[in-house]
Amino acid sequence: MTGGGDCPGLNAVIRAVTQSLILQAGVRVTGIEQGFLGLIEGRFRPLELADVTHILGDGGTVLGAHNAANPFDWHGEDVSAQALANARALGLDALVVVGGDGTMRIAHRFDQLGLPVVGVPKTIDNDLLHTDRTFGFDSAVAVVSEALQRLQTTARSHQRVMILETMGRYAGWIALHGGLAAGADILLIPEVPFSPHIVAEACTHCVARQGYALICIAEGAHAATGKQIVRAHLPHSPDPLRLGGVGEWLCQQLEGTLTSEVRSTQLGHIQRGGPPTPFDAVLATLFGWHAAQLVLQGQFGRMVVLRGQACASVPLVDVAQGIRTVGLNDPALLAARDLGICLGN
């Protein structure tokens, strides 16, 4: 099953798991539709080789996804027993769950209840613990980089300050790497609270030097004297808070200070759509293959991770303890500072 939001590379995992298990061991593979909602409602379908042969480069997920179906809190009720009964009635020997931190927390609870689970890390935010990369991240960074390069041409032509707000939740990986890839002048991430005054000064210097300023800001970034901006609250979702709007907020702060025009763009779900980059297609394939090996070896309650250039696995309980944020000594962050990029502090 694919839980949480969609992202590039999900179909590559489905393909790799299915092909590996069928070709290696003749295993019957079943797809659960719409994430944990399918487990609650008993929505399954068989997966054969012909079903997955041509999906490697497709965006989204052929099984569908759902980011608010928590069986332990489904519209205020615990329906996990119903989900377990559906899994047992289907005769599942193991469940391969592809998702982010919220999905892995739910998967861990099912593993504790006796449903053998193997996890595969998926999120464009790159914020899962114990893995150097999650697939979907590279694809999102590529979209952010291209968007910033397009905004830069408009900024240069009109001598404007252009702001691009990225996804990323409480971690700044997408904004940091996307901004570095596109040569942004100012990078604002949740891990480094910023001062609007310092950002305004940096914009003034950039406009004086080159005629424009390009800002890449993560949705979870916030001023040192303020809080993260929440655009919506979904009480039944594993991740109930939806961040967003800080780019427009910063735009309003700068408009009262700068003589240059300021424009803000929220990139939104464009970062999650479309086909995977070659890097993500390969990573997702390796993750899916490794997950299949864990199933065949009976190593359950674990999640596949990337350590350097190799796949490994860690206990699901370790992944469910929090998220991985950008460290203040992260090489990309140190490089950005030493390259003269303003971090807002």
Tell me: the pLDDT tens digits for 142-187?
999 999 999 999 999 999 999 999 999 999 999 999 999 999 999 9
Which residues are registered as beta bridge partners of 217? 165, 188
Instruction: Tell me the CATH number at 110.
Output: 3.40.50.450
In the three-class reduction of DSSP (H, G, I as helix; E, B as strand; rest coil), residue 262 is classed as: strand
Co-location of 220 and 299 in the same domain: no
% pLDDT > 90, the chain:
86
Overall average pLDDT of the 180-196 stretch: 96
- Same domain for 153 and 184, yes or no, is yes
Residue 256 reports pLDDT greater than 90: no
Question: What is the number of domains present in the chain?
Answer: 2
pLDDT of 77 strictly over 90: yes
pTM of the model: 0.93
Q: 152 lies in a domain?
A: yes
Which residue in the block uniquely carries the two structure tokens 């199933």? Answer: 295
Same domain, 189 and 116: no
Q: Which domain holds residue 295?
A: 10-135+274-319
Which residue numbers are catalytic? Answer: 125
Predicted pLDDT of residue 67? 82
DSSP sequence for 284-312: HHHHHHHHHHHHHHT--SEEEEEETTEEE
- 145 sits in the region (left: phi over 0; alpha: psi -120 to 50; else beta) called alpha
Q: Does 3 reside within a domain?
A: no
Domain with residue 155: its CATH number is: 3.40.50.460
Do 214 and 195 fall into the same domain?
Answer: yes
Q: What tokens does 307 get?
A: 């350590």
* φ/ψ of residue 140, rounded to 5: -65, -40
- Residue 4 pLDDT class (50, 70, 90 cuts): confident
Rounded distance, CA 168 to CA 217, Å? Answer: 10
Residue 228 CB neighbours (<10 A): 18
Ramachandran class of 169: left when φ > 0, alpha when ψ lies in -120 to 50, beta otherwise? left
Mean pLDDT, the chain, integer: 93
Are residues 51 and 38 part of one domain?
A: yes
Cα–Cα distances in Å, from 104 out to 47, 118, 205, 225?
23, 10, 45, 33
Mean pLDDT of 263-272: 92
Q: CA 17, 284, 13: angle at the middle one, nearest 5?
A: 30
**Residues 331, 207 share a domain:** yes
29-57 tens-digit pLDDT: 999 999 999 999 999 999 999 999 999 99
Question: With DSSP H G I counted as helix, E B as strand and the rest as coil, what are the percentages for the chain, rounded to 5?
Answer: 40, 20, 40
- pLDDT score of 227 more than 90: no
Nearest alpha carbon to residue 176 among 310, 322, 339: 339
Q: Specify the DSSP class assigned to residue 275.
A: P
Whole-number pLDDT of residue 322: 83
Q: Give the E-state strand segments of the chain in sequence order.
A: 29-32, 44-47, 95-99, 117-121, 161-166, 186-188, 213-218, 230-233, 241-243, 262-266, 302-307, 310-315
Q: Residue 247 falls within a domain, yes or no?
A: yes
Largest CA distance in the chain: 69
Do 29 and 124 lie in one domain? The reply is yes
Residue 2 lies in a domain: no
Asked whether residue 62 is domain-assigned, the answer is yes
